[in-house]
Amino acid sequence: MDGLPYDWPGKKVSDEEYSRYTRIIHDESRRLEYIIDRLVEFAKVYPVCYSPLTLSEIFEGVKKAFKNNLEGNPVKIIFPDPEVLPVTPQFGDLALLIRAVQCIVQNALEAIPGSGMVTLTGDITGNKAVIQVKDSGGGIMSKDLPYIFDPFFTTKFNYLGLGLTMAKRIIQEHKGQIDVDTVPGIGTGVFILLPRERRREIRTKLF
């Protein structure tokens, strides 16, 4: 750990130094714990448990996940009004879909320096549910765009680069797709397209 002393054994350390080194150990331990948790989460195999759900339930779950980020944060997360969202049910794993959208929103928050906005929208188009996460960040450079879903790829210091990879894997497990539209200097939009009807596959798995 950088910053810790390489002194001879028995040398007395002042209270100020002791406090500083203790904070370093604590912070590094928390960082390592976070890295291990994310690696374990990424390594898990997610069996998709299909059940009826709505777009409102997905957005409500994401909103709860970011509850502590909504107050006093210069970056605002704008969720769609539940009253205007389609009530048409779809099939999917609610917990996993919430996690996928959460990963995308977190990535969007990290892409915005200072103040800004992350806007979420949702709709049903034919047999597909569409979820969009749009941010007002700096956009993605064209040279980086082909790699954003690769494990451990990140342009941000001290980040793992697993969020978008995890989101894509969850969406693909739902037989959906994820697309990105970005303009450097303006922002990025991430589009999730999910097939709404999965009942035939559920029956196949049951029998």
Architecture per CATH, domain 51-204, reads as 2-Layer Sandwich (3.30)
The angle, 0 to 180 degrees and rounded to 10, between the axes of the packed helices 163-173 and 94-110 is 150
Residue 185's pLDDT is 86
Residue 104's pLDDT is 94
Q: How far apart are CA 19 and CA 23, in angstroms?
A: 6
- Residue 76 has phi, psi (to 5 degrees) of -95, 140
Question: Angle 84-89-95 (CA atoms, 0-180°, nearest 5)?
Answer: 95
* Segments making up each domain of the chain, as ranges: 51-204
Assigned token pair, 80: 């769609």
What letter represents residue 137's amino acid?
Answer: G
Block means of pLDDT (10 residues each) for the chain, 207 residues, are 51 72 70 57 70 96 86 88 92 93 91 90 93 92 80 59 83 92 91 80 47
Residue 72's pLDDT is 76
Report which of 179, 187, 160, 200 is spatially closest to residue 36, judged by C-alpha positions.
160
Residue 30's pLDDT is 64
